[in-house]
Amino acid sequence: RVVVGTKVDQNHVNWVTAYNMLTGIRFTVSRTNAKMDRDLTDADFDAKHKFSFDMYVLEDFSFAGNELTPSAKYDFKFKDYAPWVFRHLRSIFGLDPADYLVSLTSKYILSELGSPGKSGSFFYFSRDYKYIIKTIHHGEHKFLRKILKNYYDHVQDNPNTLLSQFYGLHRVKIPYGRKIHFVVMNNLFPPHRDIHRTFDLKGSTIGRDFKEEGLEENPRATLKDLNWLRRDQHLEFGPAKKKVFVEQMQRDVKLLQKLHIMDYSMLIGIHDLEKGNEENLRDKTLQVFQPGGEVEDAQPNMLTRTPSKLESARKAKELRQMIKTQKPVPMDQTATKMPDELEGQQKNNYFYVDDGGFRATHEDNTPGEEIYYLGIIDCLTHYNLIKRIEHRWKGLMNEESQISAIPPERYGDRFLKFISSVTKTREAAEREKAEESAH
């Protein structure tokens, strides 16, 4: 049985942290969204606001919390960074403010992916699987603040950017605890479709191999460059889509090179339309959807002001969708039009229009058999001293161009070259193979 993540309920070690994260997000986002919209100023990019949440003592004091000391279940401090910038970013990315809050409400249980990478970061899915909270290192946090203006400008100029979409940057701290920085970003993968295979590609081959034994038991495993090459896999985009895709990737990578970023990858989830949702990987999603009925929110206060009507409408809708997604979606329902149920999902990004992803095409640009859910992730690693050291020592043993920690300029070029070279239709790949064997 396939399970994505562990449910974070009251017995989970990270329950308090998760609860505080959600409570803080909810409070700060409603606070900013309650104000009239305005243009950004330079100061907005450096802004930070600190809040101290106080635990409830007496029930009678339901309105004891004021703006600076909102009440919550636990004592904790919360910092909100550049709230206006992120408000604008969410709007550029087409998020509905109410939707965002409901998805991240503290009333519901999140799902924790533990720490899938080497970095030690934790990942949490919102209960509806739309958003990911990723804890980040202090260095990454400082770096994101530093490049925020560049990122913002880029996103504004590139509505179809493939870069991770950042919706919020925050910090949470419990008394005597350590400071935990985190970002809220888009989950590239859809809640309503099975992903049959996942790849994380960098364009490097050293150490980029996932041991495939036992893969059957773990269809969610993230495979890497060597697995991709061995399987002779391609991003099957016909000429028209390939052009848009490669050009956008070039613009995105150019920014990453300019900012001396590296170590990022192209995350690709493949949904095979012929298999549909029949493999019933759906279990995992249902788990995430499960509302935590037993977990009651804090007493009525500013944090629970979301209209209850909205909540129940939403819940009903989710239930409907849950029931719907038990059945495979017929093929002709994909790609052409967006069903009502998927509103709130990205419609403005070209790469997320085919049912949340980007559908394969043939040579003649007719639709293909797969939908790709893809984007450039993990793009907050600055080419700093550590990387330079790693580069020096790995360089003693391996051919330099194959190491993942090469300088940002070359990292980007290699990345682009690799991803572009594996972007071709089935027909083109077969033709090339035939030509090769003819020689």
**Contact status: 6 vs ligand ATP (CB under 6 A):** no
33-72 positions binding Ca ion, by CB under 5 A? none
Residue 35, CB-side half-sphere exposure with 13 Å CA sphere: 11
- Phi and psi torsions of 24, nearest 5°: -65, -45
219-248 positions binding ligand ATP, by CB under 6 A? 222
Q: Tell me the one-letter amino acid at 15.
A: W
Segments of 180-257 assigned E as strands: 180-186, 197-201, 222-223
Residue nearest to ligand ATP (CB): 117
Burial level of 332, CB count in 10 A (0-12/13-18/19+)? Answer: exposed
Instruction: Choose, by CB under 6 A, the member of 1, 36, 39, 118 that binds ligand ATP.
Output: 118
Residue 81, CB-side half-sphere exposure with 13 Å CA sphere: 21
**Residue 313 in tokens:** 């409408």
Site string for ligand ATP, 16-45 (x = CB under 6 A): ------------------------------
Of 72-80, 180-188, 244-252, 396-404: span binding ligand ATP (CB under 6 A): 180-188
Query: Which does residue 155 bind out of ligand ATP, Ca ion, none, counting CB within 5 to 8 angstroms by kind?
Result: none
Strand order in the sheet with 48-55: 6-8, 110-112, 123-125, 131-136, 180-186, 166-173, 76-81, 48-55, 71-72
Instruction: Choose, by CB under 5 A, the member of 335, 357, 378, 422 that binds Ca ion.
Output: 378
> Is residue 198 within 8 Å of 268, Cβ to Cβ?
yes
**Contact status: 200 vs ligand ATP (CB under 6 A):** yes
Q: Which is nearer to Ca ion, 119 or 402 (CB)?
A: 119
Segments of 137-188 assigned E as strands: 166-173, 180-186
Of the candidates 206, 222, 331, the residue with the CA atom closest to the CA atom of residue 278: 331
Instruction: Choose, by CB under 6 A, the member of 21, 101, 132, 163 that binds ligand ATP.
Output: 132
Site string for Ca ion, 107-126 (x = CB under 5 A): ------------x-------
Of 32-40, 41-49, 116-124, 248-256: span binding ligand ATP (CB under 6 A): 116-124
**Contact status: 355 vs Ca ion (CB under 5 A):** no
Q: Which strand (E) or helix (H) includes residue 245?
A: helix 239-258
Of 279-287, 321-329, 376-384, 401-409: span binding Ca ion (CB under 5 A): 376-384
- In angstroms, what is the minimal distance from the CB of 125 to ligand ATP? 9
Query: Which does residue 189 bind out of ligand ATP, Ca ion, none, counting CB within 5 to 8 angstroms by kind?
Result: ligand ATP
Of the candidates 134, 95, 177, the residue with the CA atom closest to the CA atom of residue 348: 95
Of 107-115, 275-283, 320-328, 373-381: span binding Ca ion (CB under 5 A): 373-381
Of the candidates 202, 93, 245, 100, the residue with the CA atom closest to the CA atom of residue 154: 93
- In angstroms, what is the minimal distance from the CB of 154 to ligand ATP? 17
Query: Which does residue 185 bind out of Ca ion, ligand ATP, none, counting CB within 5 to 8 angstroms by kind?
Result: ligand ATP
* 297 vs 279: CA distance, rounded Å: 36
Using CB under 6 A as the criterion, which residues of the chain lie in contact with ligand ATP when the complex forms?
116-119, 121, 123, 132, 164, 185-189, 200, 222, 267, 377-378
